Structure 1
Amino acid sequence: MGKNRIHLVIVTGLSGSGKSTAIKAFEDIGYFCIDNLPAPLLPHFLALCEEDRPELTRVALGIDIRGRSFLPDTERFFETLEESGYRPEVLFFEAATEVLQRRYSQTRRLHPMADQAQRLVAAIERERRELQGLRARATRIVDTSDFSVHQLKALITRTYSLVSERERLSVQILSFGFKYGLPFEADLVMDVRFLPNPYFVEELRSLDGCSAPVRDWVLARPQAVEFVDDYTRLLEKLLPQYIREGKRYLTLAVGCTGGKHRSVVIAERMADKLRSAGYHTVLSHRDIYLD
């Protein structure tokens, strides 16, 4: 974030990929949001905020193909922001062409680059080419092809509501089940299916990893305790490096088969250790109540 106190997220990507939904989600969690502000005006806007709006600390700005007049100067635009002390996050949304086609067909909206002489597919592919510079600048690229509106809102809320207003890293530890798919928001994924599975113990099957019997059973295995200790030591070496590079949030995913037993226990244990080490840590269990 540099010398400035505003945490800036630039929301961009392909038309129809979910940018508007993301902007609304940012607004819901307390970001000051502007969609389609002319990019050259952004440094002036931020300077005014620094001077006149001290309570404003989080800004999400939507930039897309409607502002394509500035795209040839993308690199200079980011250099100007960085020279002013800002290190913006760039969140880039995209989706498969056939998915974008279907979304436009369902909403009957006109693609911003389409006209009577140009087919929708050609407009989508042209936009994809013209946004390559912004995509190359992305801090995070999110493919929303398989996302519902609710899943996309949940992703934004889960990730960005963790960002603290202090210049430090916020860590989310997320347990999940591989049978339900990898978490899209994960930065680091750890597989704990090498541990013995309480699911095959009759009296533990119906319980979850938050219960004392399952927790005690998993942590009675020396390899479980040794893994948590080793992985936490590695994280304690890595996290200061992430902070030094300006990263504000990190999602650590811990997975087992169903996301109910082993991953929950290990995630809880890791969260306790990182909190003890002084890191702002939030714990969630994605699949704990799924069958």
Structure 2
Amino acid sequence: MELTIITGMSGAGKSKAMGTFEDAGWFCVDNLPPGLLPALADLVLLEGSSVDRAAVVCDVRGGVWFKELEPVLGRVEGATGVRPRVVFLEASDDALLNRFRETRRPHPLGGSVAEGIARERSELGDVRERADVVIDTTGLSIWDLRRRVTEALMAPEGRRRMHVQFASFGYKHGVPRDADLLFDVRFLQNPHYVPALKPLTGLDAPVAQFVAAAPGMDDFRERLESLLDFLLPAYAQEGKASVVIGIGCTGGRHRSVAISEMLARRYARDHEVSTSHRHIERPSADPTT
């Protein structure tokens, strides 16, 4: 198994770094006293355990127990054969001071924030020297930090693919609030006006074939896929874990459903893909559906 210990200066972004591991499917624990690391390693190494990658935040919030980190790391490796990898996050004093001012939280070591930073930096000197990876988060945005953690600490085969959901909906029922991108396909011919297709949905082959053959569909599909071919890798590179793409027609039963399914098949090769047909069960008695 892989065991990564995230530590470092308070305010340097340890929780954000742990979130990157969590989004990638790692088992994560925040603020674990170092003395419990051997028990955690034993637990995940039990026969039948599905955990093979774990990330743990250990820092000065653990108080007197944090001082056990160095000897405990050696005990974990000796007892389990697993060498914990230590990641140390730091930032400049000015950057840390600004972050504490923004959050208005006290320093975990007490006293003024400036005094706490100075004391913590002194106490963590040996841990920093022991670290396998040191990341300076000064000037990094949340997304820069996620990207740095991913590139430095996760092998390509261990990175979770971005999840892309294609969500069909009907404009007359309301636009999905969680959509990152919205595309309106009401310009295409409506299967509702074909008596044999009206009671069906975009999940049925006759409707899907009708939509695929509609005038303008080929041009629309070419342009839409070209845009998504550019955007989705860019989102993944930025560290985005999931994207919701809304495809809307009038009632959400025919055109939007068929196109969502078409796009899902197209992008399942490179991403974790799902579909959600939010209004497919709504009645289509309204002639504008």
The two structures have a TM-score, normalised by structure 2, of 0.52
Q: Does 1:76 align with 2:71?
A: yes
Q: CA 1:62 to 1:53, structure 2 compared with 1: closer, same or farther past 3 Å?
A: farther
Aligned equivalent of 1:101: 97
One-letter amino acid of the counterpart of residue 137, structure 1: R
1:218-257 alignment, distance < 5 Å: none
Q: Does 1:143 align with 2:139?
A: no
Aligned equivalent of 2:243: none
Q: What's the CA shift for 1:72? A: 3.4
In structure 1, the residue corresponding to 2:108 is in which secondary structure? coil
Q: Is the 8 A contact 1:71 1:133 kept in 2?
A: no
One-letter amino acid of the counterpart of residue 27, structure 1: E
Q: Larger Cα Rg: Structure 1 or Structure 2?
A: 2
1:169-180 alignment, distance < 5 Å: none
Q: Is the 8 A contact 2:8 2:88 kept in 1?
A: yes
Q: 1:87 aligns with which of 83, 90, 93?
A: 83
Q: Is the 8 A contact 1:74 1:133 kept in 2?
A: no
Q: What's the CA shift for 1:49? A: 1.3
1:234-272 CA distances to partner (integer Å, 9 max, x unpaired)?
xxxxxxxxxxxxxxxxxxxxxxxxxxxxxxxxxxxxxxx
Q: Provide the identity percentage.
A: 38
Q: Is the 8 A contact 2:7 2:59 kept in 1?
A: yes
In structure 1, the residue corresponding to 2:32 is in which secondary structure? coil
Q: What's the CA shift for 1:136? A: 1.8
The size of the alignment, in residue pairs, is 157
When the two chains are superposed, the root-mean-square deviation of aligned CA atoms in Å is: 1.6
Q: CA 1:163 to 1:12, structure 2 compared with 1: closer, same or farther past 3 Å?
A: farther
Q: 2:23 aligns with which of 15, 20, 28?
A: 28
1:94-243 alignment, distance < 5 Å: 94-114=90-110, 118-162=111-155
Q: Is the 8 A contact 2:34 2:69 kept in 1?
A: no
What CA distance in whole angstroms lies between the structure 1 residues aligned with 2:112 and 2:8? 20
Q: Is the 8 A contact 2:26 2:55 kept in 1?
A: yes
Q: CA 1:105 to 1:53, structure 2 compared with 1: closer, same or farther past 3 Å?
A: farther
Q: What's the CA shift for 1:158? A: 2.8
What CA distance in whole angstroms lies between the structure 2 residues aligned with 1:21 and 1:100? 15
Q: What's the CA shift for 1:52? A: 4.8
Aligned equivalent of 2:177: none
One-letter amino acid of the counterpart of residue 6, structure 2: V
In structure 2, the residue corresponding to 1:90 is in which secondary structure? strand
Q: What's the CA shift for 1:74? A: 3.1
1:269-288 alignment, distance < 5 Å: none
> Where do 5+ consecutive residues of structure 2 fail to align?
159-289
Aligned equivalent of 2:41: 46
What CA distance in whole angstroms lies between the structure 1 residues aligned with 2:157 and 2:64? 34
Q: What's the CA shift for 1:54? A: 2.8
Q: CA 1:11 to 1:65, structure 2 compared with 1: closer, same or farther past 3 Å?
A: same
Q: What's the CA shift for 1:22? A: 0.2
Aligned equivalent of 1:17: 12
Q: What's the CA shift for 1:164? A: 5.0
Q: What's the CA shift for 1:156? A: 1.8
> Where do 5+ consecutive residues of structure 1 fail to align?
1-5, 166-291
What CA distance in whole angstroms lies between the structure 2 residues aligned with 1:43 and 1:164? 27
1:153-192 CA distances to partner (integer Å, 9 max, x unpaired)?
1112233332657xxxxxxxxxxxxxxxxxxxxxxxxxxx
Aligned equivalent of 1:62: 57
What CA distance in whole angstroms lies between the structure 1 residues aligned with 2:68 and 2:94? 30
In structure 2, the residue corresponding to 1:153 is in which secondary structure? helix
One-letter amino acid of the counterpart of residue 157, structure 1: T
1:29-70 CA distances to partner (integer Å, 9 max, x unpaired)?
111100011211111121121115532110000001011313
What CA distance in whole angstroms lies between the structure 2 residues aligned with 1:28 and 1:51? 24
What CA distance in whole angstroms lies between the structure 1 residues aligned with 2:67 and 2:149? 29
What CA distance in whole angstroms lies between the structure 2 residues aligned with 1:91 and 1:38? 16
The two structures have a TM-score, normalised by structure 1, of 0.51
What CA distance in whole angstroms lies between the structure 1 residues aligned with 2:147 and 2:56? 19
In structure 2, the residue corresponding to 1:125 is in which secondary structure? helix
One-letter amino acid of the counterpart of residue 39, structure 2: H
What CA distance in whole angstroms lies between the structure 2 residues aligned with 1:52 and 1:163? 27
What CA distance in whole angstroms lies between the structure 1 residues aligned with 2:66 and 2:125? 10
In structure 2, the residue corresponding to 1:147 is in which secondary structure? coil
